[in-house]
């Protein structure tokens, strides 16, 4: 009997986490094999690996403990990938050579699948003098454009693209340009942006005082702090960025404040990290610990949770030793501090199962109590590990215990740390869990409210037929199993109906006992007033949050498709996110027919002795022609390796279905540092860009896209119906469906699980 409670869960496992051979043949025959692979790999560093393998397997079994995707996909595979989710790169030097050395480090990290964060406050502002070259500085944003271009050309481990976070201090002279950078719809698409907000700045905002913009001691400009705050708020209101990070609060609370200073976070914001800092993530699946769900005696089993947390901490500590790292500096930093980020997922479902309304005062109090129990178990488990294996190398008792986070910890925990040390410098974090939550049966993600109770997912099969499957929230499905057709209680709420300040209340309640930070999106209604929107951020500051990220649908950012649902029942036919266009996700790659029609194109790159020949073959599905495969050939053996790689990669993308026009965009954006060439009256930045142009012209010729630089010929958006409302926003770049939703700062597809940063 399958362990998966829904088809989408098994599909996510098969696509993202199942170990397969290079030719696609499964090695993990079942999810139990995946759990066994992970357990064995993380037990290898133990003195008694067989004993710990069984204990680790028991923690994984039934989706109780969910290691982050990179661990689940990478542990025990022997592949050269990092199991760490996120990195903050080294401090960017204010010199041309240093900047491009940092760019190289970023590329190497993203190549292995790591998301990265950077503080660009260290680069001198636009117009500042550059001594010795009789020129003015171009400013940090110009170099961010270079990072953005680099990110667009790199595919990270598996099928995930790299994600980046850029931060800038609120007193940097270029902060206003940074705040408004996303007004340009084509700029910095690979970045999430956040402003580092200091305590003095917030004091100045509240007092309506002046504020200096400074670099290396020189005041470049003075303005009113409240004006700068309003500019941040207005751009976030209109364009969904930048977020804000309360950086002084983070550093004061940091257990390691005595030996590090934090100035950036990972892409989703839940991991504030020092230069070269790395952190791995994992989540306790809280609904699996609830006993007596939807009864008067329903409760979360705290004893079982304590045992599970202790096993999870040990497993994650072992990852520090088992993982590879893109850079030696990252490995040294990780082993010196051994920080981990254990969090939760399914919080909203667990609250529903014990009869509490997400966002209520009672639910916030229960969340705080659960988070404290997890924190205690985590710290005491790490103390036990320190007794057995030693404290982290940079441990210094008095400095550690003097941090703002540790000052609130229970006395028995503090005394245990003082006496025995602690194995892991930081232990808790709440990450985005969009994909692993689907894999675990569509539990609510992280500490977010339930997004939608149910929706219908339409899937195009290999033979051109379509199937529909209902995707139901974990708690709702359990209610149906226990209560049949009984109406949902009034305490069932979702992200669309929840007031923004209730979101803040829940984030603040969880943050009290989380030593790192929390990835959380506060959904705001489109018609929220600007003043009420600003109040959300001020409430986050006043209630002790370490940052704030909101999402407000509007004409610029696009809206998110939602289901038609009321608080009292789930529709029998949940009419949500039903894509009528032909560009939809395929359950499996298409099989190749015996014969295909296509075209061959010749490309003669100036200065090259031999031409490239590009053959693109098409397939007919449901009466529409679409590309199926590509072959790139040349007599020049110097091109052999990369042309074969490109042939295999592009063909694999084509066979997955969906809107594959992004392949053109990515190829055309590649520039050759040695210089491009003029071809047919156009400047082409690289030979790869020339190949992209050929593919684009082919897509136009078969009617797949409307024209060069244009979108799909048949627009699925025109055929998507959500209770008669025309949707806004973009299609999923992976499967083409209009099922994108904002989760913890990442646009995530409900149909296929695609997420830029998770």
Q: Cα(695)–Cα(713) distance, rounded to whole angstroms?
A: 15
Strands 115-119 and 164-169: parallel
The DSSP string of 35-66 is HHHHHHHHHTTSSSHHHHHHHHHHHHGGGSEE
Cα radius of gyration rounded to whole Å, the chain: 26
- pTM for the predicted model, two decimal places: 0.78
Higher per-residue confidence, 749 vs 539:
539
In this prediction, residue 644 carries a pLDDT of: 84
Active site residues: 266, 268, 270
Q: Cα(103)–Cα(249) distance, rounded to whole angstroms?
A: 29
Asked if the model's pLDDT at residue 480 lies above 50, the reply is yes
What count of other Cβ atoms lies within 10 Å of the Cβ of residue 302?
Answer: 14
List 621's β-bridge partners, or say none: 624
Q: Cα(330)–Cα(431) distance, rounded to whole angstroms?
A: 20
What count of other Cβ atoms lies within 10 Å of the Cβ of residue 106?
Answer: 25
In this prediction, residue 695 carries a pLDDT of: 92
Mean pLDDT of 418-445: 94
**Cα 455 vs. chain centroid, distance in angstroms?**
22
Over the stretch 270-285, which tens digit does the pLDDT of each residue have? 999 999 999 899 999 9
In this prediction, residue 756 carries a pLDDT of: 57
In this prediction, residue 169 carries a pLDDT of: 98
Over the stretch 622-648, which tens digit does the pLDDT of each residue have? 667 888 889 998 877 777 788 888 888
What count of other Cβ atoms lies within 10 Å of the Cβ of residue 163?
Answer: 25
Buried b (16+ CB within 10 A) or exposed e, 15-50: bbbbbeeeeeeeebeebeebbbbbbbbbbeebeebe
Per-residue confidence band for 554, with pLDDT thresholds at 50, 70 and 90:
low
Give the N- to C-terminal CA distance of the chain in Å, as an integer: 29
In this prediction, residue 562 carries a pLDDT of: 39
CB contact at 8 A, 424 and 313 = yes
In this prediction, residue 718 carries a pLDDT of: 30
In this prediction, residue 6 carries a pLDDT of: 80
In this prediction, residue 575 carries a pLDDT of: 26
What count of other Cβ atoms lies within 10 Å of the Cβ of residue 134?
Answer: 7
In this prediction, residue 210 carries a pLDDT of: 98
Q: Cα(267)–Cα(115) distance, rounded to whole angstroms?
A: 6
Encoding tokens for residue 269?
Answer: 């914001």
Mean pLDDT (the chain) is 85
Residues 6+ away with beta carbon under 8 Å from 649: 155
Q: Name the strand (E) or helix (H) holding 233.
A: helix 225-239
In this prediction, residue 563 carries a pLDDT of: 44
Asked if the model's pLDDT at residue 439 lies above 50, the reply is yes
Encoding tokens for residue 527?
Answer: 């018609």
Q: What SS3 state is found at 73?
A: helix
Q: Name the strand (E) or helix (H) holding 140.
A: helix 140-152
Q: What SS3 state is found at 373?
A: helix
Higher per-residue confidence, 622 vs 269:
269
**Cα 390 vs. chain centroid, distance in angstroms?**
33
Residues 6+ away with beta carbon under 8 Å from 517: 250, 265, 269, 270, 271, 272, 429, 430, 511, 546, 547
Over the stretch 566-613, which tens digit does the pLDDT of each residue have? 333 433 322 222 223 333 444 455 667 777 888 899 988 887 777 889
Highest mean pLDDT among 99-108, 392-401, 745-754: 392-401
What count of other Cβ atoms lies within 10 Å of the Cβ of residue 600?
Answer: 11
Asked if the model's pLDDT at residue 98 lies above 60, the reply is yes
Over the stretch 453-478, which tens digit does the pLDDT of each residue have? 887 776 655 566 667 778 899 999 99
Q: What percent of the chain has pLDDT over 90?
A: 58
CB contact at 8 A, 743 and 522 = no
Higher per-residue confidence, 132 vs 21:
21
Q: Cα(473)–Cα(483) distance, rounded to whole angstroms?
A: 15
Of the candidates 650, 735, 734, which has an alpha carbon nearest to the alpha carbon of residue 691? 650
Q: What SS3 state is found at 578?
A: strand
Question: Half-sphere exposure of residue 682, counting CA atoms within 13 Å on the CB side?
Answer: 10
Mean pLDDT of 495-507: 93
In this prediction, residue 1 carries a pLDDT of: 52
Q: Cα(630)–Cα(644) distance, rounded to whole angstroms?
A: 10
Q: What SS3 state is found at 368?
A: helix
**Cα 476 vs. chain centroid, distance in angstroms?**
25
φ, ψ (nearest 5 deg) of residue 394: -95, 15
In degrees, rounded to 5, the angle at the alpha carbon of residue 354 between the alpha carbons of residues 295 and 301 is 100
Encoding tokens for residue 290?
Answer: 């609830």
Could you state, in order of their start, the residue ranges of all structural domains in the chain? 597-701
CB contact at 8 A, 271 and 341 = yes
List 597's β-bridge partners, or say none: 618
Highest mean pLDDT among 440-449, 705-714, 731-740: 440-449
Mean pLDDT of 380-406: 97
In this prediction, residue 755 carries a pLDDT of: 66
| Cis preceding linkage at 242, omega within 30 | yes
CB contact at 8 A, 690 and 604 = no
In this prediction, residue 190 carries a pLDDT of: 85
Higher per-residue confidence, 402 vs 163:
402
In this prediction, residue 578 carries a pLDDT of: 27
Q: What percent of the chain has pLDDT over 70?
A: 85
In degrees, rounded to 5, the angle at the alpha carbon of residue 404 between the alpha carbons of residues 398 and 408 is 90
Per-residue confidence band for 730, with pLDDT thresholds at 50, 70 and 90:
low
In this prediction, residue 341 carries a pLDDT of: 96
Over the stretch 2-26, which tens digit does the pLDDT of each residue have? 788 888 889 889 988 999 998 889 9
Asked if the model's pLDDT at residue 422 lies above 80, the reply is yes
């Amino acid at each position: 009997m399958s362990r998966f409670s829904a088809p989408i869960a098994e599909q996510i496992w098969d696509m993202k986490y199942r170990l397969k051979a290079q030719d696609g043949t499964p090695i993990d025959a079942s999810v139990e094999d995946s759990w066994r692979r992970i357990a064995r790999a993380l037990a290898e560093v133990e003195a008694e690996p067989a004993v710990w393998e069984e204990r680790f397997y028991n923690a994984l079994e039934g989706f109780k403990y969910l290691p982050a995707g990179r661990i689940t996909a990478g542990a025990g595979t022997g592949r050269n990938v990092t199991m760490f989710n996120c990195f903050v790169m080294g401090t960017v030097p204010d010199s041309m050579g240093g900047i491009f050395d940092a760019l190289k480090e970023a590329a190497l990290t993203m190549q292995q699948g790591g998301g990265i964060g950077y503080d660009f406050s260290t680069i001198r502002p636009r117009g500042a003098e550059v001594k010795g070259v009789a020129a003015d500085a171009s400013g940090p944003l110009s170099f961010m454009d270079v990072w953005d271009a680099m990110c667009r050309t790199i595919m990270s481990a598996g099928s995930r693209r790299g994600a980046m976070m850029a931060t800038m201090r609120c007193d940097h002279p270029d902060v206003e340009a940074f705040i408004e950078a996303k007004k340009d719809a084509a700029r910095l698409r690979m970045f999430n942006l956040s402003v580092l907000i200091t305590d003095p700045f917030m004091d100045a905002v509240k007092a309506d005082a002046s504020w200096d913009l400074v670099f290396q001691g020189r005041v470049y400009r003075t303005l009113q702090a409240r004006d700068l705050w309003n500019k941040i708020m207005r751009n976030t209101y209109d364009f969904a960025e930048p977020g804000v990070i309360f950086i002084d609060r983070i550093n004061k609370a940091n257990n390691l404040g005595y030996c590090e200073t934090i100035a950036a976070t990972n892409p989703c914001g839940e991991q504030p990290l020092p230069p070269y800092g790395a952190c791995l993530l994992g989540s306790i699946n809280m609904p699996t610990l609830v006993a007596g769900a939807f009864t008067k005696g329903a409760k979360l089993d705290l004893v079982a949770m304590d045992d599970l947390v202790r096993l999870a901490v040990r497993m994650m500590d072992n990852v520090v030793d088992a993982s590879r790292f893109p850079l030696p500096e990252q490995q040294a930093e990780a082993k010196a501090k051994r920080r981990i980020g254990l969090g939760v997922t399914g919080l909203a479902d667990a609250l529903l199962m014990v009869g509490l309304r997400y966002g209520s005062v009672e639910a916030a109090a229960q969340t705080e109590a659960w988070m404290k129990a997890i924190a205690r178990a985590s710290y005491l488990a790490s103390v036990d590990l320190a007794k057995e294996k030693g404290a982290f190398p940079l441990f210094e008792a008095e400095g550690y215990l003097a941090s703002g986070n540790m000052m609130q910890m229970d006395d028995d925990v503090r005394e245990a740390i003082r006496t025995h040390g602690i194995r892991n410098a930081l232990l808790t974090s709440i990450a985005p869990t969009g994909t692993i939550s689907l894999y675990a049966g569509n539990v609510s993600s992280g500490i977010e409210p339930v997004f939608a109770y149910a929706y219908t997912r339409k899937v195009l099969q290999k033979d051109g037929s379509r199937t529909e499957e209902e995707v139901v929230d974990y708690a709702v499905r359990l209610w149906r199993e226990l209560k049949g057709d009984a109406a949902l209680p009034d305490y069932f709420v979702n992200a669309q109906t929840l007031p923004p300040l209730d979101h803040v209340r829940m984030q603040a309640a969880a943050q009290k006992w989380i030593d790192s930070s929390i990835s959380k999106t506060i959904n705001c209604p489109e018609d929220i007033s600007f003043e009420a929107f600003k109040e959300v951020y001020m409430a986050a500051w006043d209630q002790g949050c370490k940052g704030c990220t909101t999402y407000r649908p509007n004409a610029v950012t696009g809206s998110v498709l939602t289901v038609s649902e009321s608080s009292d029942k789930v529709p029998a036919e949940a009419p949500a996110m039903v894509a009528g266009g032909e560009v939809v996700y395929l359950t499996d790659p298409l099989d190749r027919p015996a014969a295909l029609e296509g075209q061959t194109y010749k490309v003669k790159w100036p200065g090259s002795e031999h031409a490239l020949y590009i053959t693109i073959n098409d397939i007919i599905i449901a009466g529409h022609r679409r590309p199926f495969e590509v072959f790139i050939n040349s007599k020049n053996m110097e091109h052999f390796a990369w042309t074969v790689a490109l042939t295999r990669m592009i063909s694999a993308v084509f066979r997955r279905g969906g809107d594959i026009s992004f392949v053109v965009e990515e190829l055309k954006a590649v520039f050759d540092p040695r210089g491009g060439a003029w071809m047919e009256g156009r400047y082409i930045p690289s030979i790869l860009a020339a190949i992209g142009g050929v593919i684009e012209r082919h897509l136009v010729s078969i009617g797949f896209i409307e024209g060069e630089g244009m979108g799909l010929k048949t627009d699925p958006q025109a055929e998507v119906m959500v209770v008669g409302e025309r949707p806004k926003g973009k299609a999923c770049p992976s499967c083409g469906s209009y099922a994108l939703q904002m989760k913890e700062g990442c646009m995530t597809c409900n149909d296929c699980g695609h997420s830029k940063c998770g």
